[in-house]
Structure 1
Amino acid sequence: KENHSVKVSGSIEDHLQVLRKTEEIEKYLKQTLERKPLYVALDYETTPLPWDFVPEEVQDFHRVGLDVHNPLSEICFVSLALNFNGKVEAVSFPVREKEVLERHLEKTGELIGFYTSSKEAFLKDVEDAYEEFLKTGSSHGSLYRVSRKYRLTGPVEREVTQKSIIHLLAKKFEELEDTPSEKAHLLIRQYALKKLNETISRLRIYQNVLERAMREYRNAFEIDPERILPLLKKLVESKNIFKVVMNPVFEYKFSKTKLGVEMPCFVGIDILDHLLGAIQPSLEDLKRRYLPEMETGKKELLQSSITSGETLKKYALYNAFDAFITYRIFEKEVKTIENLRNTTVYDFKKERPLSECIYRAHRFYREVIVPLVVEIEINGMKYDVEKSLSLALEMKNRARKLEKRGFELLKAYVPDINPEKAELRKKEGKEILYKAYEKEPILTEKGELSISSSALRKIYETTERENLKKAVLYFHSMLKVEKIISTYLEKYPYHVSLYTGRIHPSYQITRTATGRLAAAGPNVQQVLREGTRICPKCEIFPLTEKDTTCPLCGSEFEERIFLKELFIPENGNTLIVADYSQMEVRLLAELSGDKKLLEAISQGLDLHSYNASSAFGIPYEEIYEKKDTDPEMKRLRQLAKKITFAIVYGSTPEGIAESVDITTDEAGKMIENFLRNHPKVREYIDFCHKHVASKKCIATPIGRVRWFIHCTVDTTTGKPKEASIRREAQNTPIQSISSDINLTAAELERRRNSRAKPVGLVHDSIILEAPAGEAESVREELREVMEIKVKDFLKNRFGVELSVILKADVGAGENWKSASP
């Protein structure tokens, strides 16, 4: 409700100021706290130098500021901006800049000395790694240990990159695999020494850069952090001043880990823009959209600063500019949202102004999502590296055997091949496959022979050659195994922090339109999503999702690859995993008000068995009692489950038919029968479609709005023409509130129990780590939170009333898999 008119007169620099002395900063912070502005833009800079100042070849050493667990990372500069008497002004000042430069210099000197004195030991370890590679066919285990011993994993010391010595050595090992041993060892020593010397040279360049920056700092600033930090902490943790930030998870996390305070009162400009329809917007995206006149302003601030000897002063202005535009963007967003006050949407309780929905949804991010995500990212999950690397080696051998079997079978059609040396991924291997196929080849977009899953399925379905069919099964399985190795087993160890021994994924809160979290670095939410079922005898994977038995021997496919076993607790702790049971169906019943579904839920029935009973006219008790023992009852229940999910997610009959063994017509009839038996569900779907057609958006119970600006309307039905929009319209409210409930339960548990730490989230499940002796009590308390307290909280704090009964299954165990209920 403040005055959001902004005056920008003169140049941008007229609105920016660098504070160089402790007294200036103290005075500014005290005045800000006394003035009690409602909003203050806040921006932390955690890298000590601008990227332009650091030569490109050494920029990888500069990224440590992005990792809160790295002792070198700190808040180097702080920038603040506020609107005073209609004029936005921004200031920037160093906090820990001097200390960070000193630490970087010390660390860089240590590394130079360490690498210089360790050359012979390093070369010997690399040669030993090569010997292990020759024996096992895999370099990742041995090179991983070398990388940890010599701290060569990559730019943030936790991730292998294309430039890292370890990645380059792995490629060199493969290149020299067939070279005579003595010559190979000599070439590897030369190559490793060359790369180590290059690293030392790069470190010396970085050392010079840091020394120059240190000289500049002494000339430009006189700062005592101990006098500044108490005032800064008071501002950050104030509940009366909203900190306007870009990327609140980052700013909150650094406030918590480096300042030791929470940031309970904030506005995220990226969150507001996300609620206005953007997906994972960056500051550059927001600047282009809201402040196009300032597109080049930031770059101009750094021009000529590299040679002027005022880099750090310019860098401070550069950071102040970020705070300045953050505030300006916020004002523009508020104006945009206020313009929506006269437009209403239905949030499944009543019609509300769009602006009210957006503000309420933002409050949910502030009170629930951001504090929870920050805690989970800080806690991380422990990962069994040795077991992962051992399994990678075992599976690499399995992949080679599968590939060899495939080429042995192709000898029937291409006699002059050597199965011992043939490789499917190489051009020659692909040519052998298509020679055996003898039909029009399947090509990639680049015109190369394709060995994708879809290409292999087509070959399998269109050839009459039995040996080729079998070979395709082996090749498909080999590629699946290799994907598991490269995606998980060999990659995840490098994500383990050197400082905590745990994996710390990033959870992206504005990446999905429904509000679900997305994980990266690594994406732990995708663990074991595919490639889990194999034939216990032939070791092949199913060619399609609907395959249940091995086409070679007739055995049922079984889950044999359990990557979740690699996620473990610390000694003395246990993992607790809780899943919401049949959440989508329960929320479909809630939002539609369907009496039959709500009654089945209130009776405690297994909903998929209930739906199968309704669909196929078989008594509920018979299906439920035999769902795990009778293959036919199991199939019918699974089919009913697919149909229910088709209703929730808007799947087509064609999509269902592809995943289960029924025709498209049968799938269509089953969907229609379900909707006939549950008329309120049909009404819910029709309402979602028509609401989107008329309002170009759909709101969720928490107030999140999903936009469909480009929706076109079928005048006959009054619904969107686009099938994808119809699907998203009916699915968004269910998927969104499902995620919100799960996140709320996790946050309530975090607040309630300081010893049971949240360490992971996967859509409708929560992963905690707790002392082993408290596992049982935590399980029961978590179940109560998920089933009862979450509903009370959502009702009292956000006005979201849920009448449907929620059910949570909670397990505990020595790893993620064994803890899963």
Structure 2
Amino acid sequence: MPTAPINEDSHLYLIDASAYIFRAFHALPPLSRASDGLPVGAVAGFCNMLWKLLEELKGDDRPTHFACIFDKGSYTFRNDLYPDYKANRDEPPEDLRPQFPLVREASIAFACHALELEGYEADDLIATYARQAEAKGARVTIVSSDKDLMQLVTDKITMLDTMKNKTLGRDEVFEKFGVGPEKVVDVQSLAGDSTDNVPGAPGIGVKTAAQLLDEYGTVEELLARAEEIKQPKRRQTLIDHADQVRISKKLVQLDENVPVEVPVEDLAVCDPDPKTLIDFLEKMEFRTITRRVRETFEADGVIEETTAGDIGFDREAYTCIRDFKTLEDWIARAYEAGVIGVDCETNSLDCQTCDLVGVSIAIAPNEAAYIPLGHIDPDHSGGDDMFDAAPPRQVRKEDALAALKPLLEDPAVLKVGQNFKYDLTVFHRNGIEVAPVDDTMLISFALHAGMHGHGMDELSERYFSHTPIPFKEVCGSGQKQITFDRVPLDKATEYAAEDADVTLRLWTYLKPYLHKEKVTTVYETLDRPLIPVLADMERHGIKVDRDFLSRLSADFQQRMAGYEDAAYKAAGTEFNMGSPKQLGDILFGEMGLPGGKKTKSGAWSTDASQLETLAAEGHELPQIILDWRTLSKLRSTYTEALQDAINPNTKRVHTSYSMAGAQTGRLSSTDPNLQNIPIRTEEGRKIREAFIAEDGNVIISADYSQIELRLLAHIANIDALKTAFNEGLDIHAMTASEMFDTPIEGMDPMVRRRAKAINFGIIYGISAFGLANQLGIDRGEASDYIKAYFQKFPGIRKYMDETKEFAKDNLYVQTAFGRKLHLKDMNSKNGAMRAFSERQAINAPIQGSAADIIKRAMIEMPGALAAKKLDAKMLLQVHDELVFECPEDQAEDTIAVIRRVMQKAPLPALDLSVPLDVDANAAKTWAEAH
């Protein structure tokens, strides 16, 4: 780095980097690097501060010398003077520790000296450099708000608080301490500092210290004349603690003669190397500041080219295609591009019933277009007559789709979408089978499951620092919301084309990381090929007997009325069964039942666990409420809602599967949710009776038997469990026999039930408390059961311990197929959050592997059925279960194919050491088939 003399024309800037890191860490929201979860929030704050400072100082007041000063370590010469100095300080937070070296690296990338010295604090180096520069007539700005540095302030030395954008001079020092900078050390000597464990004089605060110094001049004079002080308590304090005050002064007095290794003249400013700085910022994945830095270098003529990924968003550049010739030109350009972003606009969120309103495509950054197909008077400014006006000029829908169909179906052109499953269904209903496809939501999920959300807006803000136009901005919200076909074309174009533009940019940015993070196989063999399979399942839907649901709903309502009468009788008064507040007042206020807990709002807690505890103790009313709530939820969630969900055209229910919802990779079902219908209760089974086959067909339910326990046996390499599964033994009876030294023949069913509860509970990290509640036993007995389990199967404990350690070191775990499941709270200081992540770490590889296996089966299934010329359709996936519909006379052959595909699903990627068992049955209803 260059050198330059220090003189009266010089201006030295000294950054108190160590203090800034802590301040930024606590003041700014947490931020992790997207690719690996590395905490970088303080680094980002530091880089932004440094760049902003350097940019603002480019004028006449540009610094001539510049340095970032760091603490070398926690032990300094002050600890030799006073061993308890800073002894009360906690260790740096876990998320902050890895950021210290990165901030030093950032300083160097910005071409700033990163200075530190063993045995001294950063403040001592700052004091030394500041006094050296001042002695040669230079001005000095200390970038910090640390009160300990205020003793250095003079007419030549000022401080700058960048977070408050405030300059601190003599007046600001006096405002804080009541004395000038030259007496700050004396005030601190008397007042002490609890943060640094500087003792001072007990009971003497800053205000009192300033008053005493105003009267006596210096701390030395004050101590020498302490007996003259009129206030007895204050006088005795200073007499008794004089030595303590003297040692405090040595602690707070900065060393202005540190043997610095780099002369102040060598701190001359130089411009950062563009490549070094941009490479560092890109490595940190700081999109916003990277773009700013790049644009500045471009404007200064330092660099010439900007990569496509860093081009800003220009909505005015988007095209609205309203004639066929323009559409043909864009289609030709799309063929030439080879990869295009695609998005549909519709008049409803229901892809099974919505109308296609328009299509947007993007071929490069800011090269995106919107093709309106079904807009109604979008050029009108609004008003009561807007819906009666003529449609705008737009390409005829049939002609546009006919022109787009070859492009969207061309195997040589990759179509990129965000949550593309929705668009595939919309296009399918309009006669277009889009392929091949990539999905940026699923690419993000494969890379970063558990780290953040995967919606387009969130990804755009995370990677491009760009906020796409919100839907409500173009369509409104609430009662004033309009459908997209009513949106004016200028607004519709900006909104829709931007979606395609953002999606294509996300693909360009994220796709290479699949290989880098070694999850290409996960995305290419598990996630991407599942998109069309799920789209087909959703389109098929499943038939539901509306009349049966109506009768069942009426039955539930009648039974609920009976529970209400019983509850009023037990309570001795009528109340709103659905009001937690009224129920709490009755249970714990009027009836005085034990164990009442209040929520933050001050109301009594009446959640399920609270009621279950009271019911287990024999109290009548809590059990009645639990029974009533069960029926109420089933009625509102299923028997009533399912009737509303029946598609008027197909007469079937079409659920939607979320592929990026559950961290473990499990699919989740929504609108309606068909995965959470209770199966272990009579009422839940009755609801499944409503799901029926068409005339001449049957429903087939195929369910993996104990797949997670089998995977546990394989992954944890538990010989006893593997032997039991390979020999087809009753795994729960075998476990009970091993644990309780009980013969399998003639085993008490209750003993087997306890072993079953432990077998399944262990996978989810069950506690003694949880097991005790589940089995209705005391916690000590439950704890003994768990200990006995681990003694009999030590490999499980080994697996759990090793998995947690791996997760703590890497902040992720993996499924057997390589899917990464990120656990960012594994090292959290919050005990509850850390414990939850530890349970996730144990369960996620097993549940995630099971989810991946059934996905592999689902992907293979359509081809396998077609190869045997079977007409079966896959309708539902419910965790470890697949539901089909097929002609009754094909049921036996269909079951054989389903079993074969599901059992061989792990191969060849995973050669399981235990067999997979599949229970499959055919019947007229889902309930009978399961």
Same fold (TM over 0.5): yes
Q: Which residue of 2 aligns with 1:376?
A: 537
Give the aligned length.
607
Of 667, 690, 693, which residue of structure 2 is paired with 1:569?
Answer: 693
Amino acid at match of 1:671: I
Q: Which residue of 2 aligns with 1:176?
A: none
In the TM superposition, what is the alpha-carbon distance from 1:45 to its structure 2 partner?
1.2
In the TM superposition, what is the alpha-carbon distance from 1:621 to its structure 2 partner?
4.1
Q: Which residue of 1 aligns with 2:430?
A: 258
Q: Give the gaps of 5 or more residues in structure 1.
A: 48-62, 105-204, 342-354, 412-416, 534-558, 624-631
Q: Which residue of 1 aligns with 2:358?
A: 77
Matched position secondary structure for 2:689: helix
| CA–CA separation in structure 2 for the residues paired with 1:594 and 1:430 | 48
Q: Which residue of 1 aligns with 2:827?
A: 712
Question: Cα deviation per residue 1:736-774 (whole Å; 9 max; x = unaligned)?
Answer: 110111222233222333521111111000000111121
Q: Which residue of 1 aligns with 2:843?
A: 731
| CA–CA separation in structure 1 for the residues paired with 2:622 and 2:793 | 44
Q: Which residue of 1 aligns with 2:834?
A: 722
In the TM superposition, what is the alpha-carbon distance from 1:376 to its structure 2 partner?
1.6
Amino acid at match of 1:712: N
* Conserved? CA contact 1:264–1:367, under 8 Å: no
User: Is 1:487 matched up with 2:637?
Assistant: yes
Q: Which residue of 1 aligns with 2:852?
A: 740
The aligned runs of 1:340-379 (5 Å cut-off) are 341=516, 355-357=517-519, 359-379=520-540
* Conserved? CA contact 2:704–2:881, under 8 Å: yes
Q: Which residue of 2 aligns with 1:818?
A: 928
When the two structures are superposed, what TM-score results if normalisation uses the length of structure 2? 0.60
* Conserved? CA contact 1:242–1:267, under 8 Å: no
Q: Which has the higher Rg, Structure 1 or Structure 2?
A: 2
* Conserved? CA contact 1:650–1:731, under 8 Å: yes
Q: Which residue of 2 aligns with 1:674?
A: 789
Determine which structure has greater relative contact order: mean sequence separation of CA pairs < 8 Å that are 6+ residues apart, divided by chain length. Answer: 1
Question: Cα deviation per residue 1:453-482 (whole Å; 9 max; x = unaligned)?
Answer: 3444455567xxx8xx33443343233222
Amino acid at match of 1:97: G
Q: Which residue of 2 aligns with 1:688?
A: 803
Amino acid at match of 2:324: T
Question: Cα deviation per residue 1:190-231 (whole Å; 9 max; x = unaligned)?
Answer: xxxxxxxxxxxxxxx99944443x44x12xx3x244444344
| CA–CA separation in structure 1 for the residues paired with 2:613 and 2:744 | 40
The aligned runs of 1:21-60 (5 Å cut-off) are 21-33=323-335, 35=336, 37=338, 39-47=339-347
User: Is 1:497 matched up with 2:647?
Assistant: yes
The 1:663/1:238 distance shift into structure 2, 3 A limit, reads: farther
* Conserved? CA contact 2:722–2:913, under 8 Å: no
* Conserved? CA contact 1:36–1:240, under 8 Å: no
RMSD: 3.5
In the TM superposition, what is the alpha-carbon distance from 1:495 to its structure 2 partner?
1.0
Amino acid at match of 1:731: N
In the TM superposition, what is the alpha-carbon distance from 1:574 to its structure 2 partner?
0.9
Matched position secondary structure for 2:401: helix
Question: Cα deviation per residue 1:645-668 (whole Å; 9 max; x = unaligned)?
Answer: 232222222211111133333333
The aligned runs of 1:175-214 (5 Å cut-off) are 208-212=385-389, 214=390
In the TM superposition, what is the alpha-carbon distance from 1:8 to its structure 2 partner?
6.3
Question: Cα deviation per residue 1:715-741 (whole Å; 9 max; x = unaligned)?
Answer: xxxx99922222111211110110111
Q: Which residue of 1 aligns with 2:497?
A: 320
| CA–CA separation in structure 1 for the residues paired with 2:601 and 2:689 | 39
| CA–CA separation in structure 1 for the residues paired with 2:744 and 2:385 | 76
* Conserved? CA contact 1:238–1:265, under 8 Å: no
* Conserved? CA contact 1:274–1:280, under 8 Å: no
Q: Give the gaps of 5 or more residues in structure 2.
A: 1-304, 477-481
Matched position secondary structure for 2:897: helix
* Conserved? CA contact 1:270–1:282, under 8 Å: no
The 1:206/1:690 distance shift into structure 2, 3 A limit, reads: farther
In the TM superposition, what is the alpha-carbon distance from 1:447 to its structure 2 partner?
3.9
Q: Which residue of 2 aligns with 1:249?
A: 421
In the TM superposition, what is the alpha-carbon distance from 1:246 to its structure 2 partner?
0.8
In the TM superposition, what is the alpha-carbon distance from 1:678 to its structure 2 partner?
3.0
Matched position secondary structure for 1:766: strand
Of 464, 482, 485, which residue of structure 2 is paired with 1:291?
Answer: 464
The 1:772/1:280 distance shift into structure 2, 3 A limit, reads: farther
Of 600, 608, 621, which residue of structure 2 is paired with 1:453?
Answer: 608
Matched position secondary structure for 1:78: strand
Matched position secondary structure for 2:664: coil
Question: Cα deviation per residue 1:694-720 (whole Å; 9 max; x = unaligned)?
Answer: 111112222221112343289xxxx99
Identical residues among aligned pairs (%):
26
Question: Cα deviation per residue 1:337-379 (whole Å; 9 max; x = unaligned)?
Answer: 56xx3xxxxxxxxxxxxx222x222213444421222112111
Amino acid at match of 1:743: K
User: Is 1:275 matched up with 2:473?
Assistant: no
Amino acid at match of 1:291: F
Q: Which residue of 1 aligns with 2:889?
A: 773
In the TM superposition, what is the alpha-carbon distance from 1:613 to its structure 2 partner?
1.5
In the TM superposition, what is the alpha-carbon distance from 1:314 to its structure 2 partner?
3.6
When the two structures are superposed, what TM-score results if normalisation uses the length of structure 1? 0.68
Amino acid at match of 1:811: N
The 1:814/1:299 distance shift into structure 2, 3 A limit, reads: closer
User: Is 1:93 matched up with 2:208?
Assistant: no
Amino acid at match of 2:559: R
* Conserved? CA contact 2:659–2:668, under 8 Å: yes
Question: Cα deviation per residue 1:657-702 (whole Å; 9 max; x = unaligned)?
Answer: 1111333333333333333333433332232112112111112222
Q: Which residue of 1 aligns with 2:763?
A: 648
The 1:68/1:708 distance shift into structure 2, 3 A limit, reads: closer
| CA–CA separation in structure 2 for the residues paired with 1:425 and 1:713 | 37
| CA–CA separation in structure 2 for the residues paired with 1:207 and 1:705 | 54
Matched position secondary structure for 2:860: helix
Question: Cα deviation per residue 1:121-163 (whole Å; 9 max; x = unaligned)?
Answer: xxxxxxxxxxxxxxxxxxxxxxxxxxxxxxxxxxxxxxxxxxx
Question: Cα deviation per residue 1:589-618 (whole Å; 9 max; x = unaligned)?
Answer: 221222222222221212122211211212
Q: Which residue of 1 aligns with 2:5?
A: none
| CA–CA separation in structure 1 for the residues paired with 2:487 and 2:633 | 50
Amino acid at match of 1:67: D
Matched position secondary structure for 2:657: strand
Amino acid at match of 1:312: L
* Conserved? CA contact 1:74–1:258, under 8 Å: no
User: Is 1:518 matched up with 2:634?
Assistant: no
| CA–CA separation in structure 1 for the residues paired with 2:833 and 2:851 | 28
* Conserved? CA contact 1:77–1:316, under 8 Å: no
| CA–CA separation in structure 1 for the residues paired with 2:585 and 2:654 | 43
Deviates more, 1:559-568 or 1:726-735: 559-568
The aligned runs of 1:55-204 (5 Å cut-off) are 63=348, 66-70=349-353, 73-83=354-364, 89-94=367-372, 96-97=373-374, 101=376
| CA–CA separation in structure 1 for the residues paired with 2:308 and 2:548 | 59
Amino acid at match of 2:500: A
The 1:459/1:598 distance shift into structure 2, 3 A limit, reads: closer
* Conserved? CA contact 2:468–2:499, under 8 Å: no
| CA–CA separation in structure 2 for the residues paired with 1:432 and 1:18 | 64
In the TM superposition, what is the alpha-carbon distance from 1:432 to its structure 2 partner?
5.6
